[in-house]
Copies of this chain bind each other. A is one copy, B any other.
């Protein structure tokens, strides 16, 4: 890269932990500089955040519309190259649309939009631009998750038969939204979060993780939602059975799956956990020990694979340290930024589009379709429900 990328941010001000996560992840490789932002709908809070991050006060804006307009008006070498959108869900679409229309690349937090319709509209919008749209499904940024995907693609596991993906948390076991808990408040508010709390916020990570590793797409699902905490407006727990689309005609049944997410599982911190079973081998990965990829075989010793070793197919390109030096959440998050930055830099320099490994608009559409199908199934009493059409 000839010179660093300039980054703006919408949302992520004081109290929103995810803003700081994006800032640290963007910072890690030293080739991205945060230079502008609209960090809060409250201008004072926005100014505080800007000062804390040493921003030029003239580039801390009162509204995202103003920011998009003002930045687009700056000369190319000075204006932001991309914006990161880290608002609550209901604002994702309008903010993203606004910046794309100003010709500015976008990195967006997930879930992509408020509903599937918005994601389809977003896809249409992106079609005729050459703008980058990256979605921070950060678990797919982990080196050993990338290794898992490479092993599946290489045929190491044989034909995939079954996927078990889970994401248990416990932090919403109390009705935090009843007190002044900002994070809990918008996530449990259907006006801001959308039709789902638990599945939208974290179930969608489990879905993306399974799809990223296996390439399998859901055909239909059966979702049993529960709102365990009295007074809560959206589900805080969801158990799903999955049936995947047939990928090959090989005489074996199409793959099956189990997916669950929970926010009321006492003492669970933040534990995405996935197991994939194939005809030749199975694999297992979980975030609490992210540098281990477990492989099990019918006829060989169980293996634990780790980043930085010569035997890896794909992981090593996504580590920053030698073998044995553990990396974790921020480094995985930074891998999304690194890949998106490559794409943005290629666009900036007029280079041909290359191959990048970051979640994008197709993940947005699939994720929102998954949420809608799950909500539909649960609403109908946990009946089998086909994934909605995702054609334009």
Indicate if A241 sits at the interface (CB-CB under 8 A): yes
Q: Give Cα A170–Cα B287 distance, bound, in whole angstroms.
A: 25
Contact present for B381 and A267 (CB under 8 Å): no
| Integer count of this chain's copies in the complex | 4
- Chain B's closest residue to A253 (CB) is B226
Chain A interface size range: 35 or more
Q: Give Cα A381–Cα B222 distance, bound, in whole angstroms.
A: 11
Indicate if A93 sits at the interface (CB-CB under 8 A): no
Residues of B near A279 (CB, < 8 A) are: 173, 266
Name A301's contact: one of B24, B237, B295 (CB within 8 Å): B295
Q: Mark contacts of A215-253 with chain B using CB atoms, 8 A cut-off: 1 yes-contact digit, 0 otherwise.
A: 000000010101110100000010101010000000111
Q: Give Cα A282–Cα B290 distance, bound, in whole angstroms.
A: 23
Q: Mark contacts of A156-177 with chain B using CB atoms, 8 A cut-off: 1 yes-contact digit, 0 otherwise.
A: 0110011010100110011000
Indicate if A262 sits at the interface (CB-CB under 8 A): yes
* Interface stretch of the complex, out of A116-124, A322-330, A340-348: A322-330
Contact present for B252 and A268 (CB under 8 Å): no
Indicate if A101 sits at the interface (CB-CB under 8 A): no
Q: Give Cα A299–Cα B329 distance, bound, in whole angstroms.
A: 23
Q: Give Cα A150–Cα B161 distance, bound, in whole angstroms.
A: 36
* Interface stretch of the complex, out of A60-68, A189-197, A305-313: A305-313
Residues of B near A311 (CB, < 8 A) are: 299-301
Indicate if A280 sits at the interface (CB-CB under 8 A): yes
Q: Mark contacts of A189-219 with chain B using CB atoms, 8 A cut-off: 1 yes-contact digit, 0 otherwise.
A: 0000000000000000000000000000000
Contact present for B267 and A282 (CB under 8 Å): yes
Contact present for A30 and B30 (CB under 8 Å): no
Residues of B near A228 (CB, < 8 A) are: 161, 252-253
Indicate if A185 sits at the interface (CB-CB under 8 A): no
Q: Give Cα A258–Cα B239 distance, bound, in whole angstroms.
A: 7
Q: Give Cα A186–Cα B296 distance, bound, in whole angstroms.
A: 27
Residues of B near A161 (CB, < 8 A) are: 228, 237, 264
Name A222's contact: one of B20, B226, B241 (CB within 8 Å): B241
Q: Mark contacts of A1-45 with chain B using CB atoms, 8 A cut-off: 1 yes-contact digit, 0 otherwise.
A: 001100000000000010011011001111100100000000000
Given A24-B28, A330-B321; A302-B298 close (CB under 8 Å): no
Residues of B near A53 (CB, < 8 A) are: 30
Contact present for B320 and A24 (CB under 8 Å): yes
Residues of B near A158 (CB, < 8 A) are: 266
Q: Chain A residues in contact with chain B, CB under 8 A?
A: 3-4, 17, 20-21, 23-24, 27-31, 34, 53-54, 157-158, 161-162, 164, 166, 169-170, 173-174, 222, 224, 226-228, 230, 237, 239, 241, 243, 251-253, 256-258, 260, 262, 264-271, 277-282, 287-291, 295-306, 308-311, 320-331, 381-384
Task: Beyond the given A27-B27, A27-B28, A382-B384, please list 16 additional residue pairs across the A-B interface where CB-CB is below 8 A.
Answer: A20-B320, A21-B321, A164-B260, A169-B324, A170-B296, A222-B222, A224-B256, A230-B252, A264-B277, A266-B277, A266-B282, A266-B297, A289-B289, A301-B309, A302-B306, A330-B331
